[in-house]
């Protein structure tokens, strides 16, 4: 082996070719490198269990119907990961920790094309996700065609993407398409909150009236009539954020709507916190801790950073590695976990929801989290990776390596954005600028939070409200020009350009005066498309505000050691962030810059 290859292997093993068995996602529970291996499984799960034996290129699958489907997913991945080489002889036994594993897509606020939804269902199925939660109605539009109330599709009912909705025929086609791939569609008609489109269409200003009660009940009946209960067993009625005066309804309304769901042979599902639905339905936890009312019932976890509209792509790794799904109550209550994609702000292009929320990488990374569960919840690591010397670091590094293999081998031809690159090889030092005190060394990530509104202090590297300096030294074997993801604000796709985090003015990285230097030379920020825009205008689409959905900043790394220094002042505001990572390719289809070596101290000293 040439010396350069040896150096590469030592410095960047993430990019080396690995055995296909070590690149599967989600990672199987039991992998034996022999077709004749004896398996010590213990008590088999009730469903979705499978074994896959491969010997001499031939595969033998055992399991129930669901399990066999997952075995075929595993086999399909192995073929692509092997890239034409023989699949190693092996025996795999596998089963999921959680019954329901999926993603919620908000099409009420922003219509998504049918084709983009079908592509997303394909992607979910590739990673053993089995739920597509379809949020169909919101203030901005009632997106499912109704023949009971055709006014819901009139232009006056829409506040965005006027006239964009799914016909009943399209709805049935999506459900059937998903069923063939082992994915259950859970449709959501959100009520009584988030019903401005309904109220505009019908002229009913106060949902407490009997007319609203009966009409919404008819709409639930209509939805259930479209698909048999065995193909669409769960109906979601929302019930969250009923805040406006016209949305406050008596309990008898909720009981009536719930009876429509159960009377049609369906399981009732609703958000928690939310209005109280009767009976033993399914709660979907979305904010805060376990419902303080304490009534025990099965639930699905969508809390914390499973809302990926608040998360950037390089933050997904820590979420996937260390957030434990279903961490309250007994095992009987643990039904599953669902990713939330709430792109509240208006979009300019259908693909922006998947691009700006890193949907495709999130599914890959969180598939392992939902399939295998996590033995322990690590809230102190939700927004930061552990130091490389910490034994817990190995899990993040392994997930990252597997995800990169999926990106490059399994998903190479998928036409949707996959904004995710390796970061665990990075090494940063954070210093308090005023005192010179070193706050942390060997930070192994690209996005660093000195402070974050969404998380308690234990979940980021706590700093004061002055100025911090982030430094890393990168050794390059040659002079090279490449792109870089550089970010100093961190926009949520649900908060618009808030006053705390407006689009920077020309010549600024953020409103606090952040800077970045490479080898003492200051790097200029982009020429922003909408400089200085603030005040939370949700109807002005995001365009280039964050690092992974705008063109990369071009940088030069000299041969030898390069010093990168980010200076991050803080003058109030809710989120304090610094991101830097060299990348090749485009922001939609990025890859790592190979042969780079990272240090948190100058290696020349």
**362 shares a domain with 301:** yes
How far apart are the C-alpha atoms of 255 and 87, rounded to whole Å? 55
Total domains, the chain: 3
Strand locations in 121-260, DSSP E? 131-135, 137-138, 141-142, 184-191, 234-238
Measured CA to CA in angstroms, residue 352 lies from 46, 150, 540 at distances of 40, 29, 13
Give the CATH number, domain containing residue 497.
2.60.120
**166 shares a domain with 259:** yes
Q: Beta strand 50-55 with 90-94: parallel, antiparallel or unpaired? A: antiparallel
User: What is the pLDDT, as a whole number, of residue 456?
Assistant: 60
Q: Please, which contacts does 174-179 make with residues 24 or more away whose CB atoms are closer than 8 Å?
A: 174/114, 174/117, 174/118, 174/121, 174/134, 175/226, 175/227, 175/231, 175/232, 176/231, 177/118, 177/121, 178/121, 178/132, 179/231
Domain end marker among 72, 94, 116: 94
DSSP for 296-359?
Answer: ---EEE--GGGBGGG--GGGHHHHHHHPPSS-SS-GGGEEEEEEEE---S--SSTTHHHHHTTH
**107 shares a domain with 89:** no
Handedness of CA 254, 256, 260, 262 (dihedral sign): positive
Strand locations in 526-574, DSSP E? 553-557, 560-569
**510 shares a domain with 375:** no
Handedness of CA 334, 335, 337, 340 (dihedral sign): negative
**257 shares a domain with 108:** yes
DSSP secondary structure code for residue 14 in this structure: G
Domain end marker among 57, 76, 94: 94
User: What is the pLDDT, as a whole number, of residue 279?
Assistant: 79
**442 shares a domain with 367:** no
Determine the 3-state secondary structure of 568 from DSSP.
Answer: strand
Q: How many C-beta atoms surround the C-beta of residue 56 within 10 A?
A: 8
39 DSSP β-pair partners = none
On whether the pTM is more than 0.85, the answer is: yes
Instruction: Give the pair of three-digit tokens for residue 176.
Output: 């059937």
Domain end marker among 379, 404, 430: 379
**117 shares a domain with 40:** no
Its domain, for residue 554, covers 421-599
How far apart are the C-alpha atoms of 368 and 346, rounded to whole Å? 31
**86 shares a domain with 134:** no
**What is the enclosing helix (H) or strand (E) of 191?**
strand 184-191
User: What is the pLDDT, as a whole number, of residue 457?
Assistant: 59
7 phi, psi to nearest 5 deg: -60, -45
Of 357, 374, 356, 223, which is closest to residue 301 (Cα–Cα)? Answer: 374
User: What is the pLDDT, as a whole number, of residue 9?
Assistant: 39
Determine the 3-state secondary structure of 467 from DSSP.
Answer: strand
**105 shares a domain with 89:** no
Give the CATH number, domain containing residue 179.
3.20.20.80
51 DSSP β-pair partners = 62, 93
How far apart are the C-alpha atoms of 496 and 518, rounded to whole Å? 31
556 DSSP β-pair partners = 481
Instruction: Give the pair of three-digit tokens for residue 450.
Output: 């000195």
Measured CA to CA in angstroms, residue 106 lies from 102, 154, 197 at distances of 13, 20, 15
2: buried, middle or exposed (CB in 10 Å: 19+, 13-18, 0-12)?
Answer: exposed
User: What is the pLDDT, as a whole number, of residue 387?
Assistant: 94
Q: What are the tens digits of pLDDT across the range 295-339?
A: 678 999 998 889 999 999 999 999 999 999 999 888 888 999 999
How far apart are the C-alpha atoms of 261 and 280, rounded to whole Å? 12
Report CA Rg, the chain. Answer: 25
> Is 407 a member of any domain?
no
How far apart are the C-alpha atoms of 279 and 254, rounded to whole Å? 11
**151 shares a domain with 265:** yes
Distance of CA 522 to the CA centre of its chain: 33
**269 shares a domain with 228:** yes
**262 shares a domain with 198:** yes
**What is the enclosing helix (H) or strand (E) of 125?**
helix 114-126
Instruction: Give the pair of three-digit tokens for residue 568.
Output: 């991050």
> Is 153 a member of any domain?
yes
User: What is the pLDDT, as a whole number, of residue 295?
Assistant: 61
Residues in the chain with pLDDT < 70? 1-18, 288-295, 452-460, 462, 572-574
User: What is the pLDDT, as a whole number, of residue 465?
Assistant: 74
């Amino acid at each position: 082996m040439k010396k350069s290859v040896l150096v590469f292997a030592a410095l960047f093993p993430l990019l080396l070719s690995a055995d296909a068995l070590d690149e599967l996602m989600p990672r199987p529970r039991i992998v034996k490198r022999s077709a004749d291996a004896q398996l010590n499984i213990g008590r088999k799960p009730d469903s979705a269990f499978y074994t896959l034996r491969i010997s001499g290129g031939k595969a033998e699958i055992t399991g129930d119907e669901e399990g066999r489907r997952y075995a075929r997913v595993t086999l399909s991945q192995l073929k692509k990961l092997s890239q034409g080489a023989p699949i190693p002889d092996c025996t795999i036994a596998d089963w999921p920790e959680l019954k329901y594993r999926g993603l919620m897509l908000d099409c009420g606020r922003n219509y998504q094309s049918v084709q983009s939804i079908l592509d997303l269902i394909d992607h979910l199925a590739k990673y053993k996700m089995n739920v597509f939660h379809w949020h169909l109605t919101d203030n901005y539009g009632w997106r499912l065609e109704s023949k009971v109330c055709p006014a819901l599709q009139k232009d006056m009912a829409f506040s965005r993407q006027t006239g964009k909705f799914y016909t009943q025929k399209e709805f049935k086609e999506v459900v059937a398409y998903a069923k063939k791939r082992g994915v259950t569609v859970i449709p959501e008609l959100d009520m009584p909150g988030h019903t401005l489109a309904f109220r505009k269409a019908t002229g009913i200003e106060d949902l407490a009236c009997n007319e609203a009660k009966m009409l919404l009940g008819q709409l639930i009946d209509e939805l259930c009539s479209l698909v048999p209960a065995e193909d669409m067993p769960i109906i979601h009625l929302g019930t969250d954020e009923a805040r406006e005066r016209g949305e406050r309804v008596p309990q008898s309304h909720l009981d009536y709507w719930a009876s429509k769901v159960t009377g049609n042979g369906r399981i009732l599902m609703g958000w928690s916190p939310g209005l109280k639905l009767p009976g033993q339905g399914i709660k979907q936890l979305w904010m805060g801790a376990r419902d303080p009312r304490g009534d025990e019932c099965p639930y699905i976890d969508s809390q914390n950073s499973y809302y990926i509209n608040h998360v950037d792509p390089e933050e997904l790794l820590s979420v996937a590695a260390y957030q434990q799904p279903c961490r309250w109550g007994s095992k009987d209550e643990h039904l599953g976990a669902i990713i939330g994609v709430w792109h509240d702000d208006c979009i300019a292009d259908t693909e922006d929801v998947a691009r700006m929320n890193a949907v495709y990488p999130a599914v890959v990374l969180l598939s392992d989290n939902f399939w295998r569960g996590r033995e322990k919840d690590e809230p102190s690591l939700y927004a930061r990776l552990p130091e490389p010397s910490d034994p817990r670091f190995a899990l993040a590094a392994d997930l990252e390596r597997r995800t990169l293999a999926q990106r490059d081998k399994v998903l190479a031809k998928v036409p949707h954005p996959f904004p995710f690159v390796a970061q665990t090889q990075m090494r940063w030092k954070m210093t308090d600028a005023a005192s010179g005190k070193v706050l942390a060394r060997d930070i192994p990530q690209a996005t660093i939070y000195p402070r974050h509104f969404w998380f308690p202090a234990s979940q980021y590297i706590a700093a004061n409200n002055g100025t911090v300096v982030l430094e890393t030294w990168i050794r390059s074997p040659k002079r090279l020009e490449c792109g870089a993801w550089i970010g100093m604000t961190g926009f949520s796709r649900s908060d618009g350009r808030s006053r705390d985090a407006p689009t920077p003015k020309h010549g600024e990285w953020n409103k606090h005066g952040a800077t970045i230097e490479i080898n003492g030379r200051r790097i200029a920020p982009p020429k922003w498309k909408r400089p200085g825009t603030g005040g939370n205008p949700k109807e002005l689409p995001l365009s280039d505000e964050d690092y992974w959905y705008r063109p990369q900043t071009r940088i030069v790394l000299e041969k030898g050691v390069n010093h990168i220094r980010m200076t991050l002042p803080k003058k109030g505001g809710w989120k304090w962030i610094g991101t830097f990572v060299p990348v090749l390719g485009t922001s939609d289809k990025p890859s790592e810059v190979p042969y780079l070596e990272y240090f948190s101290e100058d290696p020349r000293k």
